[in-house]
Structure 1
Amino acid sequence: MIDVEPGLLREQWAANKVFAEAPHPDARTAEGLALLREISSPPPPATVLTPIEQRIVGPGGEIRLRVFIPEGEPKGVVMRVHGGGFAAGRPEDDDAVNDVLARASQVVVISPEYRLVPDVTVREQIEDCVTAARWMIERYPTRKLLLGGISAGAHLAAATLIRLRGEAGFERIVGAQLDSGVYDLSQTPSARRATGETPVLGRTILDSVVEISLPGWDSERRRDPSVSPLFADLAGMPPALLTVGELDPLVDDSAFLAARWELAGNEATLEIWPGCPHAFTNMGAPLAMPALARIAAWMDARIAT
């Protein structure tokens, strides 16, 4: 658990009262899916850097990349995958965070767009992210690279790393920055304890997005390593930073993955932020900037190795 200044923690608890009022749409219905997509993608905030867009060929059509390039010579390149419960979200949702990290760590930040469920399954989303990561590796052959993401994006980033292991250029990936991720689609104990009162990510959203992401799959099948990174062979992974809020129903996902990451012979740093809900770093929460500062410092250290 990260130590934080008491005043900031009080501000965080006050903010949680606002987060608790957020709706919990059921993505299994057309109305619920539309609402989830609406609340997941507010208008993008103003940024210091101006993002550019590129398009690459993907397995299901074009993949749009939203790219932040810092002033001066970049020290490294980061691919960060947006969240949205697999069913919602877009690269613009992470503009504020990606802008901060690009400037703080002097890195290029690439955010790929991927196809959403239920039009595809999680397996196709992983293919989209693998394609974008391969493009990054080829596009920046002399740079140190990192992969990361938030919420569902952290899942897709972890799954992408597992798929890329052993390929040319994988050795240049020096870190995995995983924020508030879901790594066991059969649900860890903390996820199963979620209720309708859980802020941000409650019972209805958790159940419905998994059901439409892998239709017809029971809990046992959802543990397949190809879709649940927690059960995969994690040997040979780069050092990882796992950031998660204390109140996040996915806190066990991060704790369990950090333990398995280390048991496989890799470095893992787990940071649990007190009083914080799911994906707090991307919601302007009082403790978001302190957490992002630690993420940037960790990325700096990884790039400097």
Structure 2
Amino acid sequence: MLSFRGRLIKRALKASVTLWKKRTPRNIKLYRTKLDQMAKRIPVTRDVEMQSVSINGKNAEWLIPSSNAEQKQSTILYLHGGAYITGSVFTHRALCATITKKTDRRLLFLEYRLAPEHPFPAALEDAVDAYQWLLNQGIPSKQIALAGDSAGGGLCISTALMLRDRQIPLPASIACISPWVDLLHSGASHQNNARLDPLLITDDAKEAALQYTDPSNLRNPYVSPIYADLQGLPPVLIQVGSDEILLDDAVTLAKKIEQAKGDVQLRIWQGMWHVWHITGGVLPEAGKAVLEIRDFLDQHWGKQNK
């Protein structure tokens, strides 16, 4: 059952998002700037060190928990959401700091190239490059996990598919938060949850999808992974809110991984909305969801996937 605090936050979110859309210009560069400015006000958990790094010319940021006294080698490669058209270290720093602190693992945040300036396959190429960069740093694949939210959750699956197809050693596991994996938006939840979802609107998602790639390419398995052959993936955790328009993306992805004889855990959080984790310590359900990610990753560190 959704907590009392959760009900209050959900109502406030819906009102805030409606006001934001009215006041924010449609110009994509200004939109990104506004998002960054707003995100910078979100407090970041203490005891996490941040270090900037460049990966083949792309900005990235290490987040390292001070509790990691043993300097564990295991690393989370985080791929952010934002419909492939927005997202930066600023928009996701608070969330990633919470994840790295709760998991007691290093996290590498990648600022992959964004559409429409850099359409598909730019984001996917950057994600694969970042993974390969970690391998080149001497981190074995069994000590790397992929994690991401929304478009980043879908990008995690696409990245694993490309690694598999290129015969590059796969990561130990994948954690997907509210993944966007069907850019054709065929799921019934787009209609069923349209009034429940306080954050996402299907028409906005459709517009972003067409900025990311050509309409004829929306069924490409690297664009919409639910249309892919999903055999041979590492263990996957999928978290999704029951009130999201992307609920069916998550459910269908889990079913197709199961059909491919894969190891998948689907967790549907009742009353939750898109990427509720970003509310951090304010929402009890957010903290519990991050701990669920920690427990899942802990089950798989050090296990080699073919």
Give the alignment's TM-score, normalised by structure 1.
0.86
Find the aligned partners of 2:60 and 2:164 in 1 and give their Cα distance: 22
Q: Does 1:11 align with 2:9?
A: no
Given residue 11 of structure 1, which amino acid in structure 2 is its aligned partner?
A: R
**121 and 211 in structure 1: CA distance in 2 versus 1, 3 angstrom threshold:** same
Residue of structure 1 equivalent to 2:232: 236
What is the 5 A alignment of 1:194-213?
Answer: 195=194, 198-213=197-212
Residue of structure 2 equivalent to 1:214: 213
The superposition leaves residues 143-188 of structure 1 with CA deviations (integer Å, 9 ceiling, x where unpaired) of 61111100111111111111011556524x1101011111011013
What is the 5 A alignment of 1:1-305?
Answer: 6=1, 9-21=3-15, 22-23=17-18, 25=21, 30-31=26-27, 34-35=30-31, 38-39=34-35, 42-43=39-40, 45-47=43-45, 48-57=47-56, 62-70=57-65, 71-72=68-69, 73-142=71-140, 144-165=143-164, 167=166, 170-171=169-170, 173-193=171-191, 195=194, 198-215=197-214, 217-218=215-216, 221-284=217-280, 285-303=283-301, 305=303
Contact kept, 8 Å, 2:277 with 2:287, in 1: the verdict is yes
Given residue 152 of structure 2, which amino acid in structure 1 is its aligned partner?
A: G
Contact kept, 8 Å, 1:25 with 1:35, in 2: the verdict is no
Find the aligned partners of 1:264 and 1:187 in 2 and give their Cα distance: 22
Given residue 256 of structure 1, which amino acid in structure 2 is its aligned partner?
A: T
Find the aligned partners of 1:272 and 1:93 in 2 and give their Cα distance: 24
Residue of structure 2 equivalent to 1:3: none
Uncovered stretches (5+) of structure 2, i.e. residues with no partner: none
Contact kept, 8 Å, 1:49 with 1:68, in 2: the verdict is yes
- Secondary structure of the residue aligned to 2:121 is helix
Contact kept, 8 Å, 2:74 with 2:139, in 1: the verdict is no
- Secondary structure of the residue aligned to 1:69 is strand
- Alignment length, in residue pairs? 289
Deviating more after overlay: 44-53 vs 267-276: 44-53
**286 and 226 in structure 1: CA distance in 2 versus 1, 3 angstrom threshold:** same
Contact kept, 8 Å, 1:242 with 1:258, in 2: the verdict is yes
Cα offset, 1:32, TM superposition? 6.5
Cα offset, 1:104, TM superposition? 2.6
Percent identical among aligned pairs is: 23
The superposition leaves residues 242-275 of structure 1 with CA deviations (integer Å, 9 ceiling, x where unpaired) of 0111111101111110111121121000001111
- Please report the RMSD computed on the Cα atoms of aligned residues, expressed in angstroms: 2.3
Given residue 208 of structure 2, which amino acid in structure 1 is its aligned partner?
A: V
The superposition leaves residues 1-60 of structure 1 with CA deviations (integer Å, 9 ceiling, x where unpaired) of xxxxx5x5232122110111113749xx84466336623661053332121011021xxx
Given residue 241 of structure 1, which amino acid in structure 2 is its aligned partner?
A: L
Contact kept, 8 Å, 2:62 with 2:109, in 1: the verdict is yes
Find the aligned partners of 1:34 and 1:286 in 2 and give their Cα distance: 33
